Structure 1
Amino acid sequence: MLIPKLLEQDFSVFEILVVNDHSTDESLELLREFDQKHHNFKFLNLTEQTGKKAGITAAVSLAQYDRLVFTDADCIPASKHWLRSMHSAFMPNAEIVLGYGAYLKLKNSFLNKLIRFETLLTALQYFAYALHKNTYMGVGRNLAYTKTLFTTSGGFEAHKHVKPGDDDLFVNQNATPTNVALCINPKAFTISQPKTTWKSWFIQKRRHVGIAHLYQAKHQVQLALFYCSQVLFFLFFLGAALTATAHFYIILCLFVVRELYVWGIYATTAKKLQERDLIPFILLLEPFLVSLQMLIFISNSLVKPRRWK
């Protein structure tokens, strides 16, 4: 459970703000119990507005400290040093800290491996872009920024017309070459419950992809070029294999070289992000993910993604 893990954090002075967004179970009673027992615990009960952006906006307005660290209700910190590590990552001039939000490992599940590989690849991209002073997103499962930045930037006002985007769109529109820091310490990871059915995962990914057009234009182009390079590479090799051209062995050598190079990058990242069990499956997971992403893109082009609740 998240709240006990937050209360156990090894940090001198901090407050916990939890938003109850129209829950229909026993969450409200449980929050009241925590509120009575712990002086640094507070909760907000949304009664009029609904949605994650409304909840975060209300919580930020009540926060007494400037540095804010965010996670989701279905996440838990990887250690009691999560808060300290994220806080320590605020270097001079930093207003945003990007963390890694891992997913729980499930045995004998190809879907789980695919979800975690896609998460690893996304993290590799947004960490790499940030290191090159070109930050384009972060994940709300593990993200920090200052109250000052949220207030002065207008919060979610620029994209209030869409339900999702409390994390990636906010970072995309407020990151600069100098105000972003990274926290890749395993003690600062968070662990979330992954989807367990293909249908639920597919719907989730459709929603995520559905707001990519709101990214800055340069980021849309850069991400599209990366994906197109993956698609064209696999299509080119498949075409060459089916036609059995005279230069097939040369093409095969190029394929092997590319795969080994990419495998090395992904494997290094997997070790860094504590996803070592994915390493033997990388060369299978990448083309499978690329194919599914194509289906998601086509699906979104034909039918508008289901509204996020």
Structure 2
Amino acid sequence: MALTLFVLFILFSLLNILFYIGYFSFSSSKPTKIPGGQLPVSVIVCAKNEAENLKNFIPAILSQNYPNFEIILINDASVDETLDVMEAFQETDPRVKIVNVQNNEAFWGKKKYALTLGIKKAKNPYLLFTDADCAPETEFWIEHMTAHFHENKSIILGYGGYFKNKISILNKLIRYETLFTAIQYFSYAKWGMPYMGVGRNLAYTSTEFYEQNGFATHLHVRSGDDDLFVNQAATRENTAICFDEKAITRSVPNSSFKEWVSQKRRHISTSVLYKREHKAILATFYLSQLLFWILFIVLMVFQIHWQVVLAIFTIRILVQYVVFWQSAKKLNELDVVWLVPVMDLFLVFLQFGIFSTNLVSKPSNWK
């Protein structure tokens, strides 16, 4: 039994290390320098009860250094002053357009329906998405994201991080997990297997949207307006990634652990609808990650070949550190790197717990 556990530890450790070596495809890469163009862009923001966030963050979009864009603000049946705030922006800036989804509409409360109305309202063929609680870090966000629209590239995956709170452990956990997710979807895209994107910083053409029949295949699913659409539409040929520091957006993170877990439950619930090959490779990685930690703990507790086990563990952690450090440097998240492997261990078991919980109960709707 002891020998079996030891052999399994070696096998799953090697498998996990191979994944991290694969992630060097992103972590060791440099942003592609593409001259910004003059493409007509529609920035789309869907908001539900986001009056204060709109006041704080829409000015950062309006002040973008880009000559040809409009903003589509979608009020998704809000009950606060969201619509009033939108109308105030519209009165002072002709680039602002409003879509007001009311409670008596057939699919009210469905974010994908609201987004579809916003996309139909857009006059420009190049669409750039962010959330109401998001702000671009620089005035060149639109320029750098949309510069990647060229030839056959119709989907652009960007990085949507979170604002930093130096004294909050929860904030570091959220940003660590967000960084790790970005490492994965950027790496897989570079492998030619794009499988998801984040709605906080995502772009695609209206032509791509209509060719995919919008969100029709997963309209019944509560979440997934971003990752399920990308999973459905993205290919090796039509997808580009943008991780230039001038193209990063930052969002307001959850203020409580319960809220964050609820958000992660919604995100994880959509992954079961990914393409079969994507589910297979993601499941293989997470299984190798989980068993690496379980077997390491068991073998160390019972002192089974502990010198070799510790050596393999050290190699794996060092490889992970290098990947995270290189990636965090690109995405301005270096302050969370020192948390490896503590955060890694915590997230492995948290994600396993969330997945297990989702099997017996469904997560709540957005907002």
Partner of 1:5: 60
- Tell me which amino acid in the other structure corresponds to 1:164: S
DSSP-derived class of the 2:166 partner: coil
8 A contact 1:91–1:181 mirrored in 2: no
Which of 271, 284, 287 does residue 225 from structure 1 map onto? Answer: 284
Which of 134, 137, 160 does residue 101 from structure 1 map onto? Answer: 160
Normalising by structure 1, we get a TM-score of 0.97
- Tell me which amino acid in the other structure corresponds to 2:349: S
In angstroms, what is the RMSD of aligned CA positions?
1.1
Alignment of 1:36-115 (within 5 A): 36-47=91-102, 48=105, 49-115=108-174
Partner of 1:272: 330
8 A contact 1:77–1:188 mirrored in 2: yes
Output one character per residue of 1:114-163: Cα deviation in whole Å (capped at 9) or x when no partner: 11111001000000011111100000000000001111210000001112
Q: Aligned partners of 1:128, 1:269: CA distance in 2, in Å?
A: 10
DSSP-derived class of the 2:181 partner: helix
- Tell me which amino acid in the other structure corresponds to 1:193: V
8 A contact 2:192–2:236 mirrored in 1: yes
Question: Percent of aligned pairs with the same residue?
Answer: 44
Unpaired runs of at least 5, structure 1: none
Output one character per residue of 1:189-216: Cα deviation in whole Å (capped at 9) or x when no partner: 1100101111111111111111111000
| In the alignment, structure 1 residue 185 sits paired with structure 2 residue 240 | no
Partner of 1:240: 299
Partner of 1:14: 69
Unpaired runs of at least 5, structure 2: 1-55
8 A contact 2:99–2:121 mirrored in 1: no
Q: Aligned partners of 2:189, 2:284: CA distance in 1, in Å?
A: 18
Partner of 2:355: 297
Shift of 1:64: 1.0
Q: Aligned partners of 1:34, 1:13: CA distance in 2, in Å?
A: 18
Q: Aligned partners of 1:138, 1:195: CA distance in 2, in Å?
A: 20
8 A contact 1:97–1:183 mirrored in 2: yes
- Tell me which amino acid in the other structure corresponds to 1:96: I
Shift of 1:308: 3.4
Number of aligned residues: 308
- Tell me which amino acid in the other structure corresponds to 1:283: P
DSSP-derived class of the 1:214 partner: coil
Which of 255, 262, 265 does residue 203 from structure 1 map onto? Answer: 262
Q: Aligned partners of 1:133, 1:66: CA distance in 2, in Å?
A: 25
Q: Aligned partners of 1:218, 1:178: CA distance in 2, in Å?
A: 17
Which of 250, 257, 269 does residue 315 from structure 2 map onto? Answer: 257
Partner of 2:19: none
Q: Aligned partners of 2:212, 2:358: CA distance in 1, in Å?
A: 30
Normalising by structure 2, we get a TM-score of 0.82
DSSP-derived class of the 1:97 partner: strand
8 A contact 1:240–1:248 mirrored in 2: yes
Q: Aligned partners of 2:207, 2:347: CA distance in 1, in Å?
A: 38
